Structure formats: C-alpha cells, structure tokens
Chain A
Amino acid sequence: EPEVTQTPSHQVTQMGQEVILRCVPISNHLYFYWYRQILGQKVEFLVSFYNNEISEKSEIFDDQFSVERPDGSNFTLKIRSTKLEDSAMYFCAGHLGPGGGYTFGSGTRLTVV
C-alpha cells in the first residue's frame, strides 16, 4: 500500500535555528497538508497546499513557517527561527480530493532546546 514518507523521524535543534521537515507524498495525491501535535494535545491544522500553492493556513502558520514543493515530489515545511513552543510532532498528509480519506506520514518529532 502506498505510504507517505517523512524524514527525519526525530530532529533536535537549538532555539533560533532553521529546520526543514521533509515529506514524500503519494504520487497521485493532489492535496497536501501539514499538521502538528504538541505532546499530549490534539492534532492541529497548519497549512494546506494544492496546485503548487498554499490554499489555506491556520493562525499557527505565521511568517516563520513556509512550505514548498520544489521538485514536484518532495513537500517541505520550513521553520525559519525555531522557538521552544515549536516542539511537537509534525505530520504530513495527502489525499486525492474532497471526500477521500487522508494518508498521514509517521511524523517528525521536533525537539527545540
């Protein structure tokens, strides 16, 4: 069964550093998302991406966040200057279109120290 692949599985970074989280979505998916989950809390929407542009972003997704799909396959989330409160699991997800279930990656655990 096709999978969404996320790398790295765990990243530790110093506060203020830039991090790039990577995702390889399923090839025929059209809609892509980033979600995050702070430890013990619910899964929060960050951003959706369709047709090579952001279609919606949450209030969490401020100017320090950006997304790209540079080569038509990889889908990246960049955090420019990490803060302690950015520590969370970050999930990439995709689906074919409205009305279909989402396929999530196994996540990247980001720890900001």
Chain B
Amino acid sequence: SQQGEEDPQALSIQEGENATMNCSYKTSINNLQWYRQNSGRGLVHLILIRSNEREKHSGRLRVTLDTSKKSSSLLITASRAADTASYFCATEGMNRDDKIIFGKGTRLHILP
C-alpha cells in the first residue's frame, strides 16, 4: 500500500508557534499532497509536492519531501487559532489514473 501515515496523531501548540507534522509512506509515488479538514467539514487542498521536488512553500506553509526516506513534513509557521484543524497527507501512485491514498491525519489545536 502507498498509504501515508502522519505523526503526531495530535498536536497542541500556543498561537504564534510553529507546527510541524510528519508523514511517511511505503511505495514509490508521483506526488504527495497535504489537505486540511475543519471539524465535520470537507477537505481543502493545501499544497502538492512532486516526487522530483524537495521543498515547496505556500504562504505560511512549507512542505519537504525526502523520497529516500519516504517521508514528508508540513510546517505551519506563526500559527493562528484559525489553523486549528486536522491535516492529512495523501500520496498519488505512479500509475496514470492512480487515486490518492490518505493517512490517518494529525489533529492540530492552536491554543490562544
């Protein structure tokens, strides 16, 4: 299975601090994506990093990918209360019409 697995399962930090979430996967991938989900709501695509990329930025988000270790990290800098959500990594396999497979997610709670 190409399944991603995030750690930690839950993370609580003070507002203003940086939050780092990690994801590991098992098989070769075409790309890895991070999604956010507010409680009981839909999934919002945050950022995609391709297998030939090592780092990508989008606003306060920084994603790294290490294909040799089959791992990725999502860093949210200067966290805000509104960042409270669950964050999922999802990997897309190498086949042309491969679906994405989600990990179990990290529940992030930003304390005011």
Contact = CB atoms under 8 A, between A and B. Distances in A.
Interface residues of A, number: 26
A93 B102 CA distance: 13
A102 interface: yes
Given A43-B43, A43-B102, A98 B97 contact: yes
A55 B88 CA distance: 24
Contacts of B99: 33, 45, 48, 56
B42 A106 contact: yes
Nearest to B34: A101
B30 A102 contact: no
B97 A56 contact: yes
Interface string B32-46: 010100001111110
A33 B102 CA distance: 13
Specify the main secondary structure of chain A where it touches its partner. Answer: strand
A91 interface: yes
B43 A91 contact: yes
A104 B42 contact: yes
A99 B97 contact: no
Interface in A5-56: 31, 33, 35, 41-45, 48, 50, 55-56
B45 A104 contact: yes
A72 interface: no
B18 to A, nearest CB: 24
Contact of A98 (B40, B98, B103): B98
A31 B99 CA distance: 9
A99 B31 contact: yes
A33 B30 CA distance: 18
A31 B100 CA distance: 12
B50 A99 contact: yes
12 contacts: A33-B99, A42-B88, A42-B105, A43-B90, A45-B99, A48-B97, A91-B42, A93-B43, A99-B31, A103-B45, A104-B42, A107-B41
